[in-house]
Amino acid sequence: MYLEKLHEIEGMLKACTGEDDVHLTDGGEHADLASSVAFRLAKNLKKPPHQIAADLAMELSENYGSDDLSIESAGPYINFIFGPEYVRASLMAALKAGYGALPARSGRVVLEHTSANPNGPLHVGHIRNTVIGDTLARAFRRAGMPLEVQYYLNDMGRQIAIVSWGFDHLSIERSPGEKDDHYIARVYIAANAAIRDDPGITAEINHLMQVVEAGDDETIRKFRQVVEMCLEGIKTTLTDLNAVHDRFVWESDFIRIGDVSRVIGRMIRLPECHENETLWLDLTEFGIEKEYILRRSDGTSVYATRDLAYHVWKARNYDLVIDVLGADHKLIGSQLIAALKLIGEKPPEIVHFEFVSLPEGSMSTRQGKFVSADDLISEVTRKAFDEVTRRRPELAEEERTGIARSVAISAIRYDIVKVSPEKSTVFDWKEALDFERQSGPYIQYAHARACSILRKAGEFEEAYELMTGDEVRLAKCIARFPYVIDTVVKDLRPHLLAGYARDLADLFNTFYHQVPVLKSEGVTRRSRLTLVKAVRNTLKGSLETLGIDALGSM
RNA sequence: GGGCUUGUGGCCUAGUCAGGAUAGGGCGUUAGCCUCCUAAGCUAAUGGUCGGGGGUUCAAAUCCCCCCAAGCCCGCCA
């Protein structure tokens, strides 16, 4: 309902003032919506803002005001306050399954996220990418946009050559029960150590990269084998995190099917393209001083060119291309966008997120300095199991295990998604293991609480007579859910949804403590139960979009 | 050295893109609340030169300039 009201009021303000920007914002504690357009008009009208606001409020009120929309001025502001009909309509909408969905839109979206190199397990830095990407994907789906999620798999880079070399030359045994990706990481770390001790190995690595690009079957088979092995481990972690990819795109395919050659062929014709030992692009017209290398002097392709071929393919097959990439890819990202513009292909929207580091410094798979996502998940799950056991000792162990798993993923995902992506963070075990307040479990708990009330209530006839301030505030928060989904998808900012879900849980908890539901009577009881039902559905939708299980009991 | 990003109470963080009503939360600390719908909860108290300095504006955490600090990037790595 909020979205509709916002557009409606924006329209009437525009009509009334003739201004293009009517400075309409959230009214905070003063109103549902507020406009400070009077300040802007003061200059031209040569009247004080408070008088303009009063005049405008009067005029708007006469033309558009009703029992359900109060329009009044407060100093220089024009405040809009919604009435009971708005609340009723909002709640009715919020009771429907899939609430928050927006009208279906056409246009296929492709969203790439995680895409970590298969040379080890995902660590706590990689999964920031995963959580941001998966949450965005879920938001797009709720917003009614057809979407495909892809993982771009680097199966022919230097790292893979190093792992493959390590398997052939170092006898590293798999530890009992060791996961594929963790085993690969040990080989990778050992091979890097070997290279450090004997730089001559680098030539062997270079050779491997050349023959794999030339199409040597044996080497391709070996590369593919280690990549597939590592990917199995990564997929397990992604599944544990509730992150879903529709397709894994193999980088080498773009060489094999000739797309890399084709894109180089197009680039070569550009005046910005230069060929000496290497083939490179001059992107100074885009403010990029750095040369964009497309082909090595030995004739092999570089990551950038293969990525370019991948993006041409995406541009041609989808209407909107979104990449979630680490801040270390900012330069290469802007080069990619510039290069695509030069050949007239649609560039991607790139969501960058800043780095996650450890208290002792930045993470490095090569040096074995990282906290793996698997270790994080198992530690948090263990703590969650203890908590569940402490709170619900009567539940069967199997049930407690299930709840603990959901709570753990909730804590991890929420802890990551709640922070805006442009903020670099330091991984903190204490925060990761906190299940209170601004956490996923806190929101799950509010949902479970609503479920519990509704279980005890039994059948009831829906009613919409809300009286207290706590009830109305809660209902008005519920009304904003579709608007939040719309904003997340438009601005590509999933942390807004995390904040919304927390606000909603806060308001519900306050309501829960201030206002009796089951112990109230008649139409009041039925109205409050209706409100609880709407909250439950909205929290459920919020949690699902955040990739968190909406538990009925915990 | 150049580029990008960040800097908000002891700690973490929202708000910054689209400047406006006393800068919101959380953790911590302190004081209350389970004969009452799940205390992973609620109610209060405490605590802020919005990194520093200029400027623009009726109005700046928000826009512009300079400086300081941290992270990232500046590979024929990915």
CA A500 – C1' B40 distance (Å)? 19
Cβ-contact A252, A262 below 8 angstroms = no
* Cβ-contact A418, A499 below 8 angstroms: yes
Asked whether the predicted pLDDT for residue A336 surpasses 90, the reply is yes
> Mean pLDDT for chain A?
96
Distance A50 CA to B25 C1' (A): 32
- A513 closest-nt by C1' vs CA: B42
CA of A192 to C1' of B61 (A): 46
State residue A551's pLDDT score: 98
CA of A26 to C1' of B61 (A): 18
Residues of chain A with CATH 3.30.1360.70: 2-82
The DSSP symbol for A175 reads P
User: Residue A301 CA to B72 C1' — how many Å?
Assistant: 26
pLDDT in tens, A46-104: 899 999 999 999 999 999 989 999 999 999 999 999 999 999 999 999 999 999 999 98
A156 closest-nt by C1' vs CA: B78
The closest nt to A428, taking CA to C1', is B12
Nearest nt to the CA of A160 via C1' is B78
Closest-CA residue to A500 (of A542, A442, A472): A542
Which single residue has its CA nearest the C1' atom of nucleotide B73? A328
C1' of B54 to CA of A422 (Å): 27
Delimit the CATH 1.10.730.10 region(s) of chain A. Answer: 373-545
Which residues have C-beta within 8 Å of that of residue A476, sequence separation ≥ 6? A2, A32, A82, A87, A90
Residues A255, A268: Cα–Cα separation, whole Å: 17
Please name the residue whose C-alpha is nearest to the C1' of nucleotide B4: A330
- In angstroms, the Cα distances linking A276 to A193, A264, A272, A295, A296 are 34, 15, 13, 10, 10
Smallest CA–C1' separation from A403, nucleotide: B40
Band the pLDDT of A43: cuts 50, 70, 90: confident
Closest amino acid to nucleotide B25 (CA–C1'): A438
Report d(CA A410, CA A519) in Å as an integer.
32
Which contiguous run of DSSP H or E holds residue A331?
helix A330-342
Residue nearest to nucleotide B26 (CA to C1'): A438
Kindly report, as residue ranges, where domains of CATH 3.40.50.620 are found in chain A.
Answer: 113-357
Residue A325 CA, nucleotide B4 C1', distance (Å): 14
What are the tens digits of pLDDT across the range A468-500? Answer: 999 999 999 999 999 999 999 999 999 999 999
CA–C1' nearest nucleotide, residue A441: B40
The closest nt to A332, taking CA to C1', is B73
Q: In the predicted model, is pLDDT for residue A29 greater than 90? A: no
Tokens of A475: 């209902």
CA of A434 to C1' of B30 (A): 22
CATH superfamily of A373-545: Isoleucyl-tRNA Synthetase; Domain 1 (1.10.730.10)
Provide, in whole angstroms, the distance separating residue A317's CA from nucleotide B3's C1': 33
- Sheet bearing A69-74, strands edge to edge: A24-26, A33-35, A77-82, A69-74
Residue A25: is its pLDDT beyond 90? yes
pLDDT at A513 over 90: yes
Q: How many Å apart are A283 CA and B65 C1'?
A: 28
Q: Which nucleotides of B are covered by protein (CB under 7 A)?
A: 3-7, 12-15, 17-18, 20-22, 25-27, 36-43, 58-59, 71-78
CA A55 to chain centre: 44
User: Does the CA dihedral A297-A300-A303-A307 come out positive or negative?
Assistant: positive
Q: Is the ipTM of this complex over 0.90?
A: yes
The DSSP symbol for A436 reads: S
**Nearest protein residue to nucleotide B42, judged by CA and C1' positions:** A513
Homologous superfamily, domain A2-82: Arginyl tRNA synthetase N-terminal domain (3.30.1360.70)
Q: Which pLDDT band, with edges at 50, 70 and 90, does A45 fall under?
A: confident
CATH assignment of A113-357? 3.40.50.620
Instruction: Note the CA–C1' distance, A424 to B69, in angstroms.
Output: 15
CA–C1' gap, A508 and B72, in angstroms: 40
Give pLDDT, residue A430.
93
| Residue pLDDT, tens place only, A48-60 | 999 999 999 999 9
**Residue at the smallest CA–C1' distance to nucleotide B33:** A513
C1'-nearest nucleotide to the CA of A38: B20
Residues 6+ apart with CB under 8 A from A336: A304, A307, A308, A311, A347, A348
Q: Given this model, what pLDDT does residue A44 score?
A: 85
Closest protein residue to B13 (Cα–C1'): A419
Q: What is the dihedral of CA A130, A133, A135, A137, to 10 degrees?
A: -130
Distance B48 C1' – A28 CA (angstroms): 21
- Residue A206 CB-half CA count within 13 A: 9
The owner of tokens 């998808």 is A489
> Could you tell me what percent of chain A has a pLDDT over 90?
94
A35 nearest nucleotide via C1' and CA:
B20
Strands (DSSP E) contained in A407-534 are: 425-426
For residues A547 and A433, what is the distance between their CA atoms, to the nearest angstrom? 18
Which nt has its C1' nearest the CA of A423?
B6
Closest CA to A381 of A363, A356, A362, A406: A406
Nucleotide closest in space to A33 (CA vs C1'): B21
Find the Å distance, CA of residue A339 to C1' of nucleotide B2.
22
- How confident is the model at residue A498, as a pLDDT? 98
